[in-house]
Amino acid sequence: MPSEFDLIARFFTRPTPDITLGIGDDCALLTPKPGMQTAISCDMLVSGIHFFADTDPRQLGHKSLAVNLSDLAAMGARPVAFTLALSLPASDEAWLKPFSEGLFALAEKHHCELIGGDTTRGPLSVCITVLGEVPSGEALRRDQARVGDDIWVSGTLGEARAALEFLKGTISLDAEVMGDALTHLQMPTPRVELGMAIRRHAHAAIDLSDGLIGDLSHILNRSKAGATINIDTLPAGQVLHDQPHDFQLRCMLAGGDDYELCFTAPVSSRTAILEAARQTGTAVAVIGTIEKAAGLRLVNAKGEPQAFADKSFDHFSTT
């Protein structure tokens, strides 16, 4: 069996031309640009909790980095570098090769360089810490939503949850939409370009990992504000169109794993936001309004209040 060092060298060493000192020392070294702040986020994916044990390693490599890049996107930060800690039951080349390929394909697309890490024997899990840069004072935070702001979401919602329910056998999906749904679950697209493009026009942002209601609530709590969402304006993924209305709503409001951006911006920024969306090739939709009254209210297109019980996916709850 190859040693730990052989494995790291073989699958995880790439040239890092933009990095002062990359893998191979006690630490990596970055040289921050003047006027830039460093944005940092960390996510861990555990087998059996965040992904099935038999998940295609290429998709897992992609998704492990994608969920972290999505956090940078939500701050409007440009990806710079990441560390990877990988716990593996055995040093398995047939797994490591596609995993590293999926990981690096996304990393290279965003010029985000692997600068350090740790490979160890243990139950399968992937822990990534990502670093980005954003001009000082321009980061999109959760606590800056203002009363009157539009609430926007990117892309479409609910596909990843529908795909998960399909894989668990609780719903059936037509072959023509199944592939699209699975792509949303297994190969999510972090909205990095959109996050950077709306940075100067939006007030607050978050990425949707736990579900719209739970994640938007973080913006509301931090910004000491409330909101009304018009459920008839939610951008339902195509895979949901043939599903029951209640299932659609649950997927869109509390499905989780969307990795779309939810952000707030003044009404005066609408044109700029739409132009940013056009330039980055990302769909966006206004789904509600930030209000003074605390709490999150759901209405339909007629303005009638809508009830909804489920809130968010919690890794420690016994769902």
Residue 193 interacting with a copy of itself (CB under 8 A): no
Nearest-approach distance from CB 241 to a copy of itself, in angstroms: 30
Nearer to a copy of itself, 84 or 177 (CB): 84
Comparing CA positions, the residue from 277, 106, 273 lying closest to residue 188 is: 106
| 100 marked ligand binding residue | no
What residues have CB less than 8 Å from 254, skipping those under 6 apart?
A: 211, 212, 213, 214, 308, 310, 311, 312, 313
Nearest-approach distance from CB 49 to a copy of itself, in angstroms: 5
Question: Within positions 7 to 26, which residues make up the interface with a copy of itself, using CB under 8 A?
Answer: 7, 20-21, 24-26
Nearest-approach distance from CB 172 to a copy of itself, in angstroms: 29
From 83-91, 172-180, 229-237, 285-293, span contacting a copy of itself (CB under 8 A): 83-91
Considering only residues 11, 39, 162, 265, which one is a binding residue for a copy of itself as defined by CB under 8 A?
39
Question: Residue for token digits 């972290």?
Answer: 68
Question: Within positions 106 to 135, which residues make up the interface with a copy of itself, using CB under 8 A?
Answer: 115-123, 125, 127, 129, 131-132, 134
Question: Residue for token digits 């494995």?
Answer: 7
| 117 marked ligand binding residue | yes
Residue 60 interacting with a copy of itself (CB under 8 A): no
In single-letter form, the type of residue at position 125 comes to S
8 A C-beta contact, residue 153 and residue 262:
yes
8 A C-beta contact, residue 204 and residue 266:
no
> Other CB atoms closer than 10 Å to residue 18's CB: what's the count?
13
Nearest-approach distance from CB 118 to a copy of itself, in angstroms: 5
Planar angle of CA 78, 82, 84, nearest 5 degrees = 155
Residue 288 interacting with a copy of itself (CB under 8 A): no
